């Protein structure tokens, strides 16, 4: 036997010893694919969870004072559209929902390969109805009502949470925390905050080359979450072990924040195995999914309709025909098909804000915000078209909140 | 991906993933986890353009090979490969245990090659591809394949001097002698 023959024998022996891959490989792959497409969308999932809410009792952090919101923000029945603006400079809103903020991301490298995805936010100024740029915050979650945002400073994870008065632009309260926080989301009623804690910056990544093709996320360092009372800042921390043998507990992304379920009774997060979403109680113990959210897809941000009768579903189109499913929340089966490439937020029980292409468009990333309505072929453009591919620097990502 | 595409993708993965994983693990120097990562990445790439791919297996394999070589070229952090303790082998013998030792030795040496060297050897000696096909798959010349193969085999002999005895050019084969199987600790 010569060396070549031994190489051949050793390789074949090693190959023959390999057990087949575990079941569900195709679905894991599709999850990876999905998560890359939705990486930045996922990062606002927490904020979006506040979209489908019944806006009650949002704590005002100012000590009284007059309501300085412009009438366009207050009137929840109007549509405020700016189809020539991308990103928007003036209020975009439809029905109960407003574009409360948006952000762009860029990669900042500390060496040739290690980078951090950093966000620049534009927050709706309720006085002027315009979006104002800020680089002060690494994370922003806007409470229903558009008065208050919960913010994190740069260099995540951080040890304090700021509650920002959007009218004055000032911090009204700092909430110190023992476990460093990397992400925030409000409860549907705006009275609580879930803060996801991490051991390391959840926006870190490793990139092999500048093309971005050989991108690799670093392992998730998530440690658990706080549930805090927004008014008092009091609350408790729950550990959620990401190294658990339970595959349901495995996070999908480096940043995999927790958010409130739409009923507000439990905490949810994406998982890497079917049913792709997991629910916890406030103590970090896994619980059953709420009946109306068991079939929810974590990457479809719109979630449950305000009246709870319809669940926003996945893409239903084919090739360049774009549409999405609306599902029966209990059975998970499609009830109807609606225009829209990605359903982002419910504007009413019958209409949603979505990303969509124009007819005949052959670039899946050339999207604009539109208002789509059940049973109608009419789409109302709300913004201009986004430029660049998914993940491109400068591509804006919306954050919606009830107004 | 539409419903038909999903079905077809799942069918392909169910039918071909075992074979593809074997190749991916070999390309990764025997590191099962790295091999799974490599395969998963290649399948994800294929899923993104599924309806445009005419020969899925050829496409996925090409991604596997090129991705692995690219990892090497870009100095992708090389994970430690979990291998058994190097066996303290004596000169190669003719008995079964000795042959097994040699194969194990070879595996360890293979795991210490660069990804490009290993990829060329996997394509030539595991996939049994002609040099021209290897060149096409890796996007290089036949001459590069030939020289890489030569250097890779030479490197194996350096990494495991015991293998030099297999090469007629290395001189007389030592007399076979008995030696006990060595303990291999996981």
Evaluate whether A2 touches B168 at the Cβ level (below 8 Å). yes
The angle formed by the CA atoms of residues B79, B82 and B86, to the nearest 5 degrees, is 125
Q: Which residue has the higher pLDDT, A112 or B57?
A: B57
Tell me what pLDDT residue B144 has: 83
Is B61 within the bounds of a domain?
A: yes
**How many alpha carbons lie under 13 Å from residue B45 in its C-beta half-sphere?**
19
| Integer Cα distance of B54 and A132 in angstroms | 49
CB atoms within 10 A of CB A116: 19
Is B110 within the bounds of a domain?
A: yes
Residue with tokens 């394509």: B123
Quick one: tokens of A5? Answer: 């023959």
Domain spans, chain A:
25-299
Confidence band of A82 (pLDDT split at 50, 70, 90): very high
- Cα-based distances in Å from A76 to A70, A96, A98, A241: 12, 5, 9, 41
Q: Domain range holding B58?
A: 3-73
Evaluate whether B36 touches B21 at the Cβ level (below 8 Å). yes
Tell me what pLDDT residue B186 has: 29
Evaluate whether A271 touches A250 at the Cβ level (below 8 Å). yes
| Integer Cα distance of A192 and A212 in angstroms | 37
Q: State which residue of chain A sits closest to B105, comparing Cα positions.
A: A10
Q: Is A208 an interface residue toward B (CB < 8 Å)?
A: yes
- For each of chain B's 186 residues, which pLDDT tens digit applies? 777 888 889 889 988 998 999 999 999 888 888 888 889 888 988 887 888 788 888 889 888 887 766 543 333 333 333 333 333 344 444 446 677 788 888 888 898 888 888 999 999 999 888 888 888 888 778 888 888 898 899 888 888 877 766 654 433 333 232 222 222 222
The answer to whether residues B124 and B158 belong to one domain is: yes
The answer to whether residues B67 and B104 belong to one domain is: no
B182 CB-near residues (< 8 Å, 6+ apart) = B87, B88, B89, B101
Domain boundary among B23, B58, B73: B73
User: Is residue A59's pLDDT more than 60?
Assistant: no
Report the C-alpha dihedral over residues A372, A377, A383, A384, rounded to 10 degrees.
150
Tell me what pLDDT residue A210 has: 58
Give A238 to chain B, closest Cα distance, Å: 31
Evaluate whether A383 touches A368 at the Cβ level (below 8 Å). yes
Give the CATH number, domain containing residue B155: 1.10.10.10
Quick one: tokens of A176? Answer: 């110190």
Tell me what pLDDT residue A111 has: 82
Tell me what pLDDT residue A216 has: 59
Is B186 within the bounds of a domain?
A: no
Domain boundary among B14, B40, B73: B73
| Integer Cα distance of B50 and B58 in angstroms | 13
Q: Is A377 an interface residue toward B (CB < 8 Å)?
A: no
A66 CB-near residues (< 8 Å, 6+ apart) = none
The answer to whether residues B66 and B103 belong to one domain is: no
Task: Name every chain A residue with its beta carbon within 8 A of the beta carbon of B166.
Answer: 1-3, 6
pLDDT digit string (tens) for A316-353? 887 678 889 999 999 999 999 999 989 999 999 999 99
Tell me what pLDDT residue A211 has: 54
Quick one: tokens of A268? Answer: 């949810």
| Integer Cα distance of A149 and B124 in angstroms | 60
Residue with tokens 């490009």: B116
| Integer Cα distance of A165 and A160 in angstroms | 16
| Integer Cα distance of B23 and B123 in angstroms | 9
Is B90 within the bounds of a domain?
A: no
Q: State which residue of chain A sits closest to B94, comparing Cα positions.
A: A1
DSSP classification of residue B50: G
pTM value is 0.59
Evaluate whether A61 touches A173 at the Cβ level (below 8 Å). yes
Per-residue HEC secondary structure of chain A comes to: CCHHHHHHHHHHHHHHCCCCCCCCHHHHHHHHHHHHHCHHHHHCHHHHCCCCCCCCCCCCCCCCCCCCCCHHHHCCCCEECCCCCCCCCECCEECCEEEEEEEEEEEEECCCCEEEEEEEEEEEECCCCEEEEECCEEEEEECCCCCEEEEEECCCCEEEEEEEECCCCEEEEEEEEEEEEEEEEECCCCCEEEEEEECCCCCEEEECCCCCCCEEECCCCEEEEEEEECCCCCEEEEECCCCCCCHHHCCCCCCCCCEECCCCCCEEEECCCCCCEEEECCCCCEECCCHHHCCCCCCCCCCECCCCCCEEEEECCECCECEEEEECCCCCCEEEEEECCEEEEECCCCEEEEEECCCCCCCCCCCEEEEEECCCCCEEEEEEECCCCCCCCCCCEEEEEEC
**For chain A, percent of residues with pLDDT exceeding 90:** 53
Evaluate whether A340 touches A381 at the Cβ level (below 8 Å). no
Is B78 within the bounds of a domain?
A: no
ipTM higher than threshold 0.90? no
User: Is residue A307's pLDDT more than 60?
Assistant: yes
Tell me what pLDDT residue A395 has: 86
Is B79 within the bounds of a domain?
A: no
How does strand A192-198 pair with strand A342-346? unpaired
- Residue contact B40–A12, C-beta within 8 A: no
User: Is residue A393's pLDDT more than 70?
Assistant: no
Q: Which of A89-103, A291-305, B92-106, B139-153 has the highest mean pLDDT?
A: A89-103
Residue to substitute from B82, B126, B154, interface A, most A β-carbons within 10 A: B126
Out of A148-157, A231-240, A386-395, which region has the weakest mean confidence (pLDDT)?
A386-395
Length of chain A: 403
The answer to whether residues B100 and B160 belong to one domain is: yes
User: Phi then psi for A231, rounded to 5 degrees?
Assistant: -75, -45
- Cα-based distances in Å from A222 to A181, A202, A273: 9, 8, 17
Confidence band of A209 (pLDDT split at 50, 70, 90): low
Q: State which residue of chain A sits closest to B5, comparing Cα positions.
A: A318
Alpha-helical (H) ranges within chain B are 3-27, 32-48, 56-73, 96-111, 115-121, 131-138, 142-159
The answer to whether residues B60 and B113 belong to one domain is: no
Tell me what pLDDT residue B102 has: 81
Of A333, A186, A373, A357, which is closest to residue A267 (Cα–Cα)?
A: A186
pLDDT digit string (tens) for A171-191? 999 999 999 999 999 999 999
Q: Which residue has the higher pLDDT, A56 or B162?
A: B162
Is B63 within the bounds of a domain?
A: yes
Confidence band of A311 (pLDDT split at 50, 70, 90): very high
Evaluate whether A303 touches A290 at the Cβ level (below 8 Å). no
Number of separate domains in chain B: 2
**Residue A176: Cβ-neighbour burial (10 angstroms; 0-12, 13-18, 19+):** exposed
- Residue contact A33–B107, C-beta within 8 A: no
Residue to substitute from B4, B6, B11, B22, interface A, most A β-carbons within 10 A: B22
Is B166 within the bounds of a domain?
A: yes
Q: State which residue of chain A sits closest to B160, comparing Cα positions.
A: A3
């Amino acid at each position: 036997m010569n060396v070549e023959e031994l190489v051949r024998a050793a390789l074949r022996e090693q190959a023959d010893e390999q057990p087949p891959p575990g079941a569900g490989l195709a679905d894991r792959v599709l999850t990876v694919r999905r998560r890359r497409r939705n990486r930045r969308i996922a990062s606002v999932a927490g904020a979006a969870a506040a979209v489908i809410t019944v806006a009650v009792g949002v704590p005002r952090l100012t000590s009284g004072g007059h309501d300085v919101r412009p009438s366009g923000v207050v009137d929840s029945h109007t549509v405020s559209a700016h189809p020539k603006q991308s990103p928007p400079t003036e209020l975009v809103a439809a029905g109960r929902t407003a574009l409360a903020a948006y952000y762009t991301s860029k990669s900042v490298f500390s060496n040739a390969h290690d980078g951090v995805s950093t966000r620049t936010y534009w927050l709706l100024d309720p006085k002027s109805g315009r979006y104002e740029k800020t680089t002060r915050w690494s994370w922003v979650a806007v409470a229903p009502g558009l008065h208050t945002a919960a913010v994190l400073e740069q260099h995540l994870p951080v040890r304090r949470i700021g509650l920002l008065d959007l009218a004055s632009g000032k911090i009204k309260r700092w909430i110190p925390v023992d476990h460093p926080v990397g992400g925030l989301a409000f409860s549907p009623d705006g009275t609580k905050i879930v803060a996801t804690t991490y051991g390391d910056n959840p926006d870190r990544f490793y990139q092999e080359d500048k093309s971005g093709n050989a991108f690799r996320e670093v392992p998730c360092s998530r440690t658990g979450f706080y549930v805090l009372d927004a008014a008092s800042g009091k609350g408790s921390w729950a550990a959620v072990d990401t190294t658990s043998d339970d595959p349901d507990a495995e996070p999908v992304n480096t940043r995999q924040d927790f958010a409130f379920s739409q009923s507000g009774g439990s905490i949810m997060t994406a998982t890497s195995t079917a049913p792709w979403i997991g629910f916890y109680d406030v103590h970090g113990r896994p619980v059953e999914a709420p009946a109306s959210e068991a079939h929810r897809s974590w990457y479809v941000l719109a979630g449950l309709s305000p009246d709870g009768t319809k669940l926003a579903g996945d893409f239903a189109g084919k090739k360049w025909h774009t549409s999405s499913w609306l599902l029966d929340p209990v059975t998970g089966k499609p009830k109807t098909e609606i225009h829209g490439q990605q359903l982002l937020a419910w504007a009413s029980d019958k209409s949603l804000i979505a990303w969509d292409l124009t007819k005949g468009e052959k670039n899946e990333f050339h999207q604009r915000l539109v208002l789509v309505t059940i049973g109608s072929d009419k789409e109302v453009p709300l913004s201009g078209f986004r430029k660049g591919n998914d993940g491109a620097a400068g591509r804006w990502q919306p954050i919606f909140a009830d107004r | 991906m539409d419903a038909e595409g999903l079905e077809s993708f799942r069918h392909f993965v169910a039918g071909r993933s075992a074979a593809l994983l074997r190749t991916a693990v070999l390309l990764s120097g025997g590191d099962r986890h790295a091999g799974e990562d490599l395969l998963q990445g290649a399948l994800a790439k294929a899923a993104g353009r599924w309806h445009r791919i005419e020969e899925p297996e050829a496409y996925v394999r090409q991604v596997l090979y090129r991705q692995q070589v690219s990892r090497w070229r870009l100095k992708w952090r090389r994970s430690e490969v979990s291998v058994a303790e190097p066996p303290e082998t004596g000169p190669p013998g003719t008995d079964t245990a000795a042959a097994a030792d040699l194969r194990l030795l070879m595996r360890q040496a293979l795991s210490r090659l660069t990804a490009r060297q290993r990829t060329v050897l996997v394509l030539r000696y595991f996939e049994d591809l002609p040099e021209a096909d290897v060149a096409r798959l890796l996007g290089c010349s036949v001459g590069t394949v030939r020289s890489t193969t030569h250097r890779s085999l030479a490197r194996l002999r350096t990494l495991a001097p015991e293998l030099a005895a297999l090469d007629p050019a290395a001189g007389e084969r030592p007399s076979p002698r008995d030696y006990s199987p060595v303990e291999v600790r996981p």
